[in-house]
Amino acid sequence: MAERALFLPHLSKLSEMPQIDPSLNKILRHRSSSRKKSRSISLVLGCLLIIVLFFFFISNILKGFSLKPDFLIPFIFNTGELKEDNGRTNFLILGTGGAQHEGPNLTDTIMFVSFNKKNGQATLLSLPRDIWVEKLKQKINSAYAIGQADDGNGLELVKEIVGEITGLPVHYGVVIDFSVFKEIIDIVGGIDVVVDKTFDDFKYPLENGEYEAATESGEIYKHLRFEKGLTHMDGETALEYSRSRNSEDPAEGSDFARSKRQQKVLLALKNKLLSKKIITDIPKLQSAYKTIIQNIDTDIRQKNLPALSRLALSFKEEKVKTVVLDEGTEEKPGFLENPPVEKYGAWVLSPRGGSWQKFQEYLKRELEKL
């Protein structure tokens, strides 16, 4: 039987390459290595793994593969393996903004995940999107778009670049258009989310020419308000809830608060997908499957599914460690620095001292601790 890709890539190429944002005010900070941040990221990762696996199972059911011996035998007899080096399998998860954005293939979420198959530990590394890639003369968040526009191998290009940064091989990659969750939520009839605290966001940016309030600079915003308590959300509302980041309330206007809301949405979607009402509704499953295959690009293959399933099912939040890649502080400098704007014509991040070697040595030590 011919090897079958897990999902078929249908992501469009860019007609024009994205320009570097010259704004000096767009500064990414990734300074929190606290347990709360680690749990937030790990829970999001766990939900993503489950949702991806769910849709692969559905694809096999809808295509009639689920009862064939060549699909069932690896699960029954625990066969099938993932690529690995020194007992570790490394993944790259990329998140794009989707077709509604000017740069649909820009990856503002770049996450490297290393699983220790011997003890079930996972190490997560979020890479800032503003890292400068010298060979591309662009930021790292443009790499996937460049590869797609060039030869359709954007995922391989980003895997190569992340491998050069970490000094480790990237075995598998997944590119997810996060805006697709809006469509899937509508297909399954919405989700129920508990809003922890009432809050307003008066500066939620709008797209497609819609507006409710505009500033003198021409920026267009929409006023969002979420009331405390159980809230039934359609896709649009869930997307706004998970993306809001400009509340004047410090408890809701931070990146951490947004991450926490995103995990709530993913958990609610996972629970809805696995509910009896949805799992037995073939038309909705077919519609959701059609949507997902148009918005996920991956090099994971069907033969990898048994081992990947075991990995996902053994995923435990308490076995996750986060490694931080940032500028650090004056007292404790990190592995990144912000070179003068004149050097690259934009605000970017580069390895401190011009080399990734020290970070690679640090990452290797951290992995060896687990």
Q: Average pLDDT of each block of 10 consecutive residues along the chain (370 residues)?
A: 37 38 37 42 51 53 44 48 90 77 76 86 87 96 94 94 97 85 90 94 70 54 93 94 86 76 80 83 80 81 76 68 86 94 93 96 90
b/e burial code for range 296-332 (CB count within 10 A of at least 16 → b): bbbbbebbbbbbbbebbeebeeebbbbbbbbbeeeee
Res 224: pLDDT? 94
Q: What pLDDT, on a 0 to 100 scale, did the predictor assign at position 34?
A: 40
Q: How far is the C-alpha of 247 from the C-alpha of 255, rounded, in Å?
A: 11
d(CA 303, CA 320): 26
> Strand, helix or coil at 62?
helix
Cα torsion through 103, 104, 108, 109, rounded to 10: -170
Question: pLDDT tens digit string along 135-188?
Answer: 999 999 999 999 999 888 999 999 999 999 999 999 999 898 877 888 889 999
Task: Return the SS3 of 333.
Answer: strand
Half-sphere CA count of 215, side-chain side, radius 13 A: 10
Q: What is the CATH number of domain 35-179+295-368?
A: 3.30.420.590
* Domain boundaries for CATH 3.40.630 within the chain: 182-270
Phi, psi angles (nearest 5°) of residue 60: -70, -40
Specify the pLDDT at position 189.
94
- What is the 8-class DSSP label of residue 316? -
Which position has the token pair 């625990």? 78
> Which helix (H) or strand (E) segment is 138 a member of?
strand 138-139
CATH 3.30.420.590 domain range(s) in the chain: 35-179+295-368
pLDDT score recorded for residue 176: 83
Spatial distance between the Cα atoms of 258 and 226, rounded to a whole number of angstroms: 13
Taking only the tens place, the pLDDT of each residue in 193-218 is 999 999 999 988 776 444 455 455 55
How far apart (Å, rounded) are the C-alpha atoms in residues 181 and 188? Answer: 11
Asked whether 96 and 107 are in contact (CB, 8 A), the reply is: yes
- Return d(Cα 18, Cα 363) in angstroms, integer: 31
Give the pLDDT confidence score for residue 268 in this predicted structure: 86
| Buried b or exposed e, range 92-113, using 16+ CB within 10 angstroms | bbbbbbbeeeebbbbbbbbbbb
Lookup: tokens for 226 = 């979420």
Residue 181, number of CB atoms within 10 A of its CB? 24
pLDDT recorded at residue 65: 39
pLDDT at 37: 46
Q: Give the integer Cα–Cα distance in Å for 210 and 196.
A: 29
The residues, ordered by sequence, that sit 6+ positions from 316 with a Cβ below 8 Å of its Cβ are 120
The whole-model pTM stands at: 0.69
Positive/negative CA dihedral, 255, 257, 260, 264: negative
Instruction: Spell out the CATH class of 182-270.
Output: alpha beta
Distance between CA atoms of residues 294 and 252, nearest Å: 33
* 351 torsion bin: left (phi>0), alpha (psi -120 to 50), beta (else): beta
Cβ–Cβ < 8 Å for 93, 48: yes
For residue 52, what pLDDT is reported?
56
* Helix H or strand E encompassing 351: strand 350-351
